[in-house]
Amino acid sequence: MSLSLVQSRALLGLEAASVTVEVHLANGLPSFTLVGLADVEVKEARERVRSAIQNAGLEFPNNKRITVNLAPADLPKDSGRFDLPIALGILAASGQIEASRLAGNEFAGELSLSGQLRPVRGALAMALALHMGGIATRLVLPADSAREAALVPGAEVYGAAHLLDVVRQFLAADAAQPLPEAGADGWARVVPQAARPAARPADLADVKGHAGAKRALEIAAAGNHSLLMVGPPGSGKSMLAQRFAGVLPAMSVDEALESAAIASLGGRFAVERWMCRPTVSPHHTASAVALVGGGSPPRPGEISLAHHGVLFLDEFPEFTRSALEALREPLETGSITIARAARRAEFPARFQLIAAMNPCPCGYLGSTLKACRCTPDQVLRYQGKLSGPLLDRIDLHIEVPAVSAQQLLDAPAGEATEGIRARVAAARAFALARQGKPNQALQGTEIDRHAALEPAALKFMHAAAARLGWSARSTHRALKVARTIADLAGAGEMQAAHVAEAVQYRRALGAAG
């Protein structure tokens, strides 16, 4: 048969669109043509596939005119994932394997010149697309990629180490010619293994003092709120932020799948990090595209890689203005849409923002340990790098004062992460049972319904909003923080004490120090 069809998938955002690899062999001037909106690395598959087939001891049809079409033609294709399906299509079209036996399978994998299979990006996203679409088919991948894809519940995933391992499964029933040995690993169905316990995360007990900052971290974790920490250099802001993910409740399987699928798209997924909330800490020189995603085809940015985890931005005002302003919409919506002239892709970005900054350029404004040498104009210019609309979207603003040497050396260890996480999980479960979502996600009438205030608390909120000149967004965010504080206290109705504590966390940045 001179025509064969092999199924694969292309990546466009988190959508793994189906691709049919059509291979036709014809008489004529020998050539190898690849069409179907293929990127450069896909077109280079011609040389990889030719060498892999020949070095595996199989026959490459050098005397034929080979045409490979990646359908649909208007869908962009990138990476070396199509090497394996192209090779199988050529072998099927030339009669070396049974074309009909390829049905019911989907293939992806990059080939080395010797025929070894190399892992590809987005293997978990491919398996997740099959799972979400209810498609019953086998997924054949390189061994390392297969371990990722097998994490999806119910996935039928097979891993192979060499092109010959795959070819051996689809030989015609009457094939008499034995194939060369490929190696020891061979072909095997991959089943998800019990996750090994990850390395013990850093403990909040290591942080001495800072009872107020730890309380703010607990509130942020319980209600899924964003947090801005302001303090002098060395006060412990980064130390607190790096321990924040350990306070968050355990991930659900669906959350873990979404987070892992995005990490797989960026080539950052590791099986040992399965079910662990990510903490992403881009350097302050990161561009807006690096933060929110982009490129052609679109790739996820740092905010999407932090999905269901923590995005920690240290030296917050040092990021470019465009990068910071790009965070405004994702903080509200929990997703980011990358729009290009020919294509658009949507990535989830439901992260918790933890930001840290100094109060002034020298860092010592209001410090009791060292005098500040900045002029008022320099302080205003530095703090002015953060726009009002961006600050308005950050729920908690706290000061992290410097810890003296005496406190650092003499203070006992603080409360361990486990105790704080237990309270956070209880408060989060209380909120989910009441409204089906974290407090930070409440919108419109949901705030009126679930954030009911006692009369004294309502009066206090009116006075605070008028005195501090809050916008409607600031008022709603303070209400949601107060609702979280009440949940941590196990209270059904929000009291004046809950509102008073929430108001403290909407302090003006200029008062830092």
Share of the chain above pLDDT 70, in %: 94
Q: What integer pLDDT is reported at residue 176 of this predicted model?
A: 47
Reported confidence tier of residue 194, pLDDT bands at 50, 70, 90: low
Reported confidence tier of residue 145, pLDDT bands at 50, 70, 90: very high
For the stretch 102-133, pLDDT in tens is: 999 999 999 999 999 999 999 998 998 888 88
Do 366 and 223 fall into the same domain? yes
Overall number of domains in the chain: 2
Do 416 and 296 fall into the same domain? yes
Reported confidence tier of residue 184, pLDDT bands at 50, 70, 90: very low
Decide if 138 is inside a domain.
yes
Do 287 and 410 fall into the same domain? yes
**Domain with 40 in it: what CATH number?**
3.30.230.10
Decide if 298 is inside a domain.
yes
pTM of the model: 0.86
Domain that holds residue 374: 204-439
Residues 6 or more apart in contact with residue 384 via CB below 8 angstroms:
none
Mean pLDDT of 13-39: 92
Do 349 and 433 fall into the same domain? yes
Decide if 110 is inside a domain.
yes
Do 376 and 402 fall into the same domain? yes
Share of the chain above pLDDT 90, in %: 63
Q: Which two tokens stand for residue 506?
A: 């909407």
Decide if 496 is inside a domain.
no
At residue 310, does pLDDT exceed 50?
yes
Decide if 179 is inside a domain.
yes
Tell me, letter by letter, the H, E, C secondary structure of 429-446: HHHHHHHCCCHHHCCCHH
Do 107 and 233 fall into the same domain? no
Decide if 503 is inside a domain.
no
Do 133 and 62 fall into the same domain? yes
Q: What integer pLDDT is reported at residue 513 of this predicted model?
A: 38
Do 149 and 242 fall into the same domain? no
Decide if 403 is inside a domain.
yes
Burial pattern 180-199, b for ≥16 Cβ within 10 A else e, equals eebeeeebeebebeeeeeee
Q: Which two tokens stand for residue 106?
A: 């989907």
Q: How far apart are CA 172 and CA 99, in angstroms?
A: 9
For the stretch 265-286, pLDDT in tens is: 888 888 888 889 999 999 999 9
Residues 6 or more apart in contact with residue 173 via CB below 8 angstroms:
98
| Boundary of a domain, candidates 439, 467, 492 | 439
At residue 52, does pLDDT exceed 50?
yes
Do 210 and 245 fall into the same domain? yes
**Domain with 342 in it: what CATH number?**
3.40.50.300
Do 361 and 219 fall into the same domain? yes
Q: What integer pLDDT is reported at residue 198 of this predicted model?
A: 54
At residue 337, does pLDDT exceed 80?
yes
| Boundary of a domain, candidates 439, 471, 502 | 439
For the stretch 162-173, pLDDT in tens is: 999 999 999 876
Do 158 and 306 fall into the same domain? no
Most confident of 215-219, 337-341, 368-372: 215-219
**Mean of the per-residue pLDDT values for the chain?**
89
Decide if 251 is inside a domain.
yes
Do 259 and 377 fall into the same domain? yes
Q: Which two tokens stand for residue 398?
A: 């706290």
At residue 353, does pLDDT exceed 60?
yes
| Boundary of a domain, candidates 439, 470, 487 | 439
Least confident span in 148-152, 163-167, 172-176, 301-305: 172-176
